[in-house]
Amino acid sequence: MSQKQQYIYGPVPSRRLGLSLGLDLVPYKTCTLDCIYCQLGATTNKTIQRKEYTPIKAIVTQLKQKIKDGLEADYITLGGSGEPTLNSKLGLLIREIRKITNIPVAILTNGTLLTDKSVRDDCALADLVIPSLDAADEETFRKINRPHRDISIENLISSLVTFRKEFSGKIWLEVFLLEGINTAPQQTEKMKKAIERIMPDKIQLNTAVRPTAEPYAKIVTRQKLTEIAGRLGPKCEAIAYAFDENKPEQSETKSKVAPRKAEITKSLLSMLKRRPCSINDISSVMEIHPNEVIKYINHLRMQNLILAVRKNKIIFYKAK
């Protein structure tokens, strides 16, 4: 990795987390799963091996600089170009963050490595953990999440149950619903039973409002999402459509993010008028992190200024 490699992106406005500063703990695209709805595209390194994929020392140095420059953020979010708990120095990173700032730490994880006690101990150092659970039976799990061969849905659910007992912070469980794949009443019923065992603080329902890795990963209507949320109980909310409402987010309007966002959006649109580009193309040309690119792309899509086209399994964006 080059000296100039950026492991930090944002802060970017996030409807769930306010202003979120993203830390990238694994290189593109290293994950234990290969979800059919992944916005980052196909997993190129499917693994369960933990190691220091991204050097923690470099992340901490970049974070210190951000703080020195007057960082404003509601959360420091550990995520990135794949599954962050694959980084074996996750716990050390959180301890280092605690030494330099009081900003709360959130982890976005697919939860599959929580079977490992050391991963649960690392995650328990955070303030908020947002794990995913898209299926409650093995067949649906394999269809949607295409896991590493050593991962099973029962182990995933049991480890979330164990983690809930060990962790005193907040757990917001994200469930990604895809039409005709995990929306049948018997699947929702199994999901409800799994949720009752896990006891998260919140359940947030998402769906494919944005282009997905596979074209057959289809969106669930707003009405159906709301109905399923009702069936899953009072702690469950449908968040997918709220993310794409075309209005500035509160945290965005009150911060210095807005001018930067306007500037980047303008250059991005002019780039997409010249030629169609993938998330990775944009990321390397504009030198911004793929996850941050996704935010700008979504903003332009909401304004109906660009469209997505799929070619050889890669999603390209172009101006209308």
- CB atoms near residue 250 (< 10 Å): 12
Q: Is residue 83 close enough to count as binding ligand SF4 by CB under 6 A?
A: yes
When the beta carbons of 83 and 292 are compared against ligand SF4, the nearer one is 83
3-state DSSP assignment of residue 277: strand
Taking CB under 6 A as the criterion, the residue among 40, 181, 288, 297 binding ligand SF4 is 40
Q: What is the rounded distance in angstroms from the CA atom of residue 292 to the CA atom of residue 11? A: 9
Taking CB under 6 A as the criterion, the residue among 19, 33, 194, 217 binding ligand SF4 is 33
Contact yes or no for 130/202 (Cβ under 8 A): no
Instruction: Supply 95's token pair.
Output: 């301890």
When the beta carbons of 74 and 214 are compared against ligand SF4, the nearer one is 214
Q: Is residue 38 close enough to count as binding ligand SF4 by CB under 6 A?
A: yes
CA–CA distances in Å: residue 173 to residues 97, 151, 167, 255: 24, 19, 14, 28
Q: Is residue 207 close enough to count as binding ligand SF4 by CB under 6 A?
A: no
Task: Answer positive or negative: Cα dihedral of 63, 67, 70, 76.
Answer: positive
When the beta carbons of 13 and 82 are compared against ligand SF4, the nearer one is 82
Task: Specify the stretch interacting with ligand SF4 by CB under 6 A; choose among 4-12, 35-43, 156-164, 251-259.
Answer: 35-43
When the beta carbons of 57 and 313 are compared against ligand SF4, the nearer one is 313
Q: Is residue 82 close enough to count as binding ligand SF4 by CB under 6 A?
A: yes
Q: What is the rounded distance in angstroms from the CA atom of residue 106 to the CA atom of residue 113? A: 16
User: What is the contact surface with ligand SF4 in residues (CB under 6 A)?
Assistant: 31, 33-35, 38, 40, 43, 82-83, 110
